[in-house]
């Protein structure tokens, strides 16, 4: 394929029945972006700018990494400042702040939890593009490659943003250490 959406259009085989077992696959985020672009007639960057970024009061412009055909890499190519990521987290923590429906935020926090969900989130869940830390706190997280994190805790009324570059694409031990650091920050602020 010469670009991302050509690859998406070639995806045909179902690995297992929907809902049978969780397996995170980044390409599904790109599929969602592809659908949004087709339905709206707008590119993803324009949609995010108009429907989210301008409304949350971001200080700086954000940007997407794009492929050779100009399609945004939705699965890991979104770039913004730490403060603006924090504003996004606060918008979610404020139950959408009138920009995102509050019932959608609550539904997102109510993901299906199961045993051995993930090495770094054993009681975790994933729903609507957000990771849910555990069934008790129902804190939401945006977790990116190489250790990027936006952690939203209703229990502590706290948003933690971490920009980083792990030496590996994914590292469960580093993710666990990061969660421990987030919990230590919450305890110190309590």
d(CA 153, CA 185): 11
Dig out the tokens for 153 from the structure: 């805790």
pLDDT digits (tens, 9 = 90+) for 58-108: 999 999 999 999 889 999 899 999 999 999 999 999 999 999 999 999 999
Average pLDDT, stretch 47-67?
Answer: 96
> What is the domain partition of the chain in residue ranges?
1-80, 81-190
Q: Which residues, listed in sequence order, are joined to residue 131 by a DSSP beta bridge? A: 126, 141
- pLDDT at residue 169 greater than cutoff 90: no
Q: Which long-range contacts (CB under 8 A, 24 or more apart) does 90-93 make?
A: 90/159, 91/56, 92/140, 92/152, 93/152, 93/153, 93/154, 93/157, 93/158, 93/159
Number of Cβ within 10 Å of residue 37's Cβ equals 19
> Which residues make beta-bridge pairs with 100?
97
pLDDT band at 116 (very low <50, low <70, confident <90, very high): low
CATH 3.40.50.450 fits 81-190, yes or no: no
The stretch 162-188 carries a mean pLDDT of 91
Residues whose CB is less than 8 angstroms from the CB of residue 138 and which lie 6 or more positions away in sequence, other chains included: 109, 110, 132, 154
The percentage of residues in the chain with a pLDDT greater than 90, rounded to a whole number, is 61
**Residue-level pLDDT at 117:** 66
Q: Are 156 and 142 in contact (CB under 8 A)?
A: no
Q: Which residues, in sequence order, are CB contacts of 106 under 8 Å at separation 6+?
A: 95
The pLDDT of 154-176, averaged and rounded, is 90
DSSP labels for 45-64?
HHHHIIIIITTTT-SS--EE
Q: How confident is the model at residue 39 (pLDDT cuts 50, 70, 90)?
A: very high
Biggest CA–CA distance in the chain, Å, is: 52
Q: Are 107 and 128 in contact (CB under 8 A)?
A: yes
> Mean pLDDT highest for which of 5-14, 15-24, 110-119, 159-168?
159-168
DSSP designation for 75: T
Confidence band for 118, pLDDT divided at 50, 70 and 90: confident
> Is residue 174 predicted with pLDDT exceeding 80?
yes
């Amino acid at each position: 394929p010469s670009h991302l959406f050509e690859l998406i259009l070639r995806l045909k085989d179902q690995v297992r029945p929907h809902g049978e077992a969780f397996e995170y696959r980044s390409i599904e985020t790109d599929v969602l972006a592809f659908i949004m672009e087709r339905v709206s007639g707008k590119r993803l960057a324009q949609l995010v700018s108009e429907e989210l970024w301008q409304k949350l009061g971001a200080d700086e412009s954000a940007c997407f990494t794009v492929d050779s055909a100009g399609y945004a890499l939705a699965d890991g190519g979104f770039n913004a400042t730490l403060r603006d990521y924090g504003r996004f987290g606060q918008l979610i923590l404020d139950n959408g702040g009138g920009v995102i429906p509050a019932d959608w935020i609550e539904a997102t926090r109510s993901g299906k939890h199961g045993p051995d969900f993930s090495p770094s989130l054993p009681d975790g869940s994933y729903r609507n593009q957000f990771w849910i830390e555990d069934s008790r706190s129902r804190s939401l997280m945006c977790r990116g490659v190489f250790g990027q994190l936006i952690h939203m805790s209703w229990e502590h009324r706290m948003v933690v943003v971490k920009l980083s570059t792990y030496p590996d694409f994914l590292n469960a031990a580093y993710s666990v250490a990061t969660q421990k650091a987030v919990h230590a920050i919450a305890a110190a602020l309590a």
